[in-house]
Amino acid sequence: MAHLPSNPFPSLTLPSTSGTPVSPSTLSGLSILFPTSSERTTTSFRSAADRLLSNGVSHVFGVAAASSSPSAQQQVKESLGLPFQLLSDEKGELKQALGGFEGTLAVEDGVVVQVWEGEGAGAEELLGWLEGRVGREGLSTRAEADMLENMTGR
């Protein structure tokens, strides 16, 4: 959805499988939230969890659709051996706050920076985005450093 990137993530608190509610809009760093409606997508994130974290992701959360209680999500987490928490949008508040959006979100310091619609991005697609993002940041940083050096040399 074109209107989500660059906008603040909704200020909501969702129950998690850790037992502690999570407010993604208040988390520091890069958070990934993906739909758990597909076991294939969920297990792709399980397999790539370490690589996501080593590529700059601070938090990974699976988000269950409405009608999925935190206790049901705990069973899914245990049965699939997931190394990350699952959040429950049992009342559909997140989906409503996102204007009906269902997919994967990258949220950095409370701001939506990237979206993948539908079933969302698999972990490999997300890793590709992260690698491209890091490269662009590196170029930007070098250009800024060169500009600063030129300005101070005048």
- Tens of pLDDT, residue by residue, the chain (154 residues): 446 777 899 999 999 999 899 999 999 999 999 988 888 888 899 999 999 999 999 999 999 876 667 788 888 899 899 999 999 888 889 988 988 888 899 999 999 999 888 766 788 888 999 988 755 444 344 454 455 555 555 4
How high is the pLDDT of residue 5?
A: 78
Task: Check residue 3 and give its pLDDT.
Answer: 66
Q: What is the pLDDT of residue 40?
A: 87
Model pLDDT, residue 6: 78
The CATH number of the domain covering residues in 24-152:
3.40.30.10
The domains of the chain are located at: 24-152
Residue 84: its pLDDT value, please?
92
pLDDT at residue 136, rounded to an integer: 41
What are the distances in angstroms from CA 71 to CA 16, 37, 65, 74, 76?
9, 16, 14, 5, 9
The amino acid present at 64, given as its one-letter code, is A
- What is the model's pLDDT at position 106? 93
Beta-sheet pairing, 103-108 with 111-117: antiparallel
**Secondary structure class of 55 (helix, strand, coil):** coil
Residues 85 and 88: their CA atoms lie apart, in Å, by 10
